Structure 1
Amino acid sequence: MNFQSSDSTETIESNRRVDNNLRAVESDESHIASAMKELRNTGWYWGTLTAAEAKEILQDAAEGTFLVRDSSQRDYLFTISAMTSAGPTNLRIEYKDGKFKLDSVVLVRPKLKQFDSVVHLVEHYVMLSKSSDNTTADPQFSAAAAAAAPNGTVQLLLTKPVYTATPALQHLCRIAINKTTRQVQDLPLPNRLRDYLTDYAYNV
């Protein structure tokens, strides 16, 4: 009959926790790497742009104009900088357990939608902003946006991205096709072209 000492049991449990932590870290690295790849494809991800530089870019833009940049705060990876009726503002994106969501006040935070990627998050709120009544469609977004707005009451819309450079015609066509259909695999196109379309399956 074999007996296992409490020390060896603790060692096994400790090793199991280390393995789980390593797997979680690897999963996070994979999610973030995938998110970065998609963001770089957008043309409206500005990387290490500062808040002051984002404000300058947005200063004369129309309400709803936005860009995504790296967050200057260590606890966050990305920030959406957007133009409101009261001027430019910033909304941080929170990452936790493989999901991205908008940062917000504690009471609203658990109710906010979560997304597998930053681009999916932005696409959702762009579509919401373009709908006839986005506050009714997602009151949590309205509350999160109000918390980030300059005076706490300004509505924040995301309607038009600011590109770092003029997008390639192929990319603009890809977005136009994605706006028309989500069944790209069924289109009578060469495999190479279908692969290009599915590599960025968003309409923003």
Structure 2
Amino acid sequence: MVHHNEPPEPSAPKPDPISVALTTHIPAPQTHPAASTRPAPPTHFRPFRDVDERSLVASTTRFLGNSGFYWGPLDVDEAHARLTTLPVGTFLIRDSMQTDVFFTLSYHSEDGPTSVRVLLKGCGFALDGSKHAFPCLFELLRFYMTSAKRSLKQPYRGSAPQKLQELCRRAVVKTYGKDNLDKLPVTSVLRDFLQSYPFSI
């Protein structure tokens, strides 16, 4: 089931979105290496309401590119086909096919593969139809992984074995916490590597 409700109207006008879009840079979305080999569609990044919104999406896109479970421009049918044989609770993030929405969460629910749009709400993220909003997309995912219903259980990073350095990075973040990475007695290169994905999901 895919949700198609329109996102809420933007709040009071902020600086001209066209000028914001032209003077700021968003990293190109990185497609998961195991995703379809079909040509990627043009970026769906729309003009932003303000610089803070642009900054939030830019940092989220960078982190997603290092997460392993971001599949880029994967369409809904292919996403559901990948998830249908996986355990209930397995999820991935992909680009939304709608030009006014950036990301979509696809996961294997009790009723089968489901997709829900991830909406921007006041420089935060919320699932379409949910009252819960989070300043970070990864906090949103963690909430649904640890809530009583536990709709999400594990990310889908493909069938290839994960790199040891990526497993170690998530283990370090889980042990010391995102906010303590700057205090670790490690080299600047290793610190930059840890900060490139400071989440244990």
- TM-score higher than 0.5: yes
1:44-59 → structure 2 map (5 Å cutoff): 44-59=69-84
1:35-184 → structure 2 map (5 Å cutoff): 35-104=60-129, 109=130, 111-116=131-136, 118-126=137-145, 128-129=146-147, 134-135=148-149, 157-164=151-158, 165-182=160-177, 183-184=180-181
With over 3 angstroms needed to count, the CA separation of the structure-2 counterparts of 1:85 and 1:169, relative to structure 1, is same
> For 1:80, what is the secondary structure of its paired residue?
strand
Identity over aligned pairs, percent:
35
Whether the aligned pair in 2 keeps the contact of 1:64 and 1:83 (CA below 8 Å) is: yes
**Structure 2 gap ranges (5+):** 1-12, 21-48
> For 1:56, what is the secondary structure of its paired residue?
helix
State how far apart, in whole Å, the 1-side matches of 2:108 and 2:79 are: 10
State how far apart, in whole Å, the 1-side matches of 2:182 and 2:53 are: 29
State how far apart, in whole Å, the 2-side matches of 1:18 and 1:120 are: 26
Give the C-alpha shift of residue 39 in structure 1.
0.7
With over 3 angstroms needed to count, the CA separation of the structure-2 counterparts of 1:18 and 1:59, relative to structure 1, is closer
> For 2:85, what is the secondary structure of its paired residue?
coil
> Under a length normalisation based on structure 1, what TM-score does the superposition of the two structures give?
0.68
Give the C-alpha shift of residue 166 in structure 1.
3.7
> Under a length normalisation based on structure 2, what TM-score does the superposition of the two structures give?
0.69
Whether the aligned pair in 2 keeps the contact of 1:101 and 1:115 (CA below 8 Å) is: no
State how far apart, in whole Å, the 2-side matches of 1:96 and 1:18 are: 14
Alignment correspondent of 1:13: none
Give the C-alpha shift of residue 20 in structure 1.
6.3
**Structure 1 gap ranges (5+):** 1-16, 136-155
Whether the aligned pair in 1 keeps the contact of 2:103 and 2:119 (CA below 8 Å) is: yes
> For 1:89, what is the secondary structure of its paired residue?
strand
Give the C-alpha shift of residue 83 in structure 1.
0.7
State yes or no: 1:197 paired with 2:167: no
Give the C-alpha shift of residue 175 in structure 1.
0.4
> For 2:66, what is the secondary structure of its paired residue?
helix
Give the C-alpha shift of residue 169 in structure 1.
1.4
State how far apart, in whole Å, the 2-side matches of 1:124 and 1:18 are: 30
State yes or no: 1:31 paired with 2:56: yes
What is the RMSD of the two structures over their aligned residues, measured on CA atoms? 2.2
Q: How many residues align?
A: 157
> For 1:81, what is the secondary structure of its paired residue?
strand
State yes or no: 1:185 paired with 2:182: yes
Give the C-alpha shift of residue 187 in structure 1.
2.6
Whether the aligned pair in 2 keeps the contact of 1:38 and 1:119 (CA below 8 Å) is: no
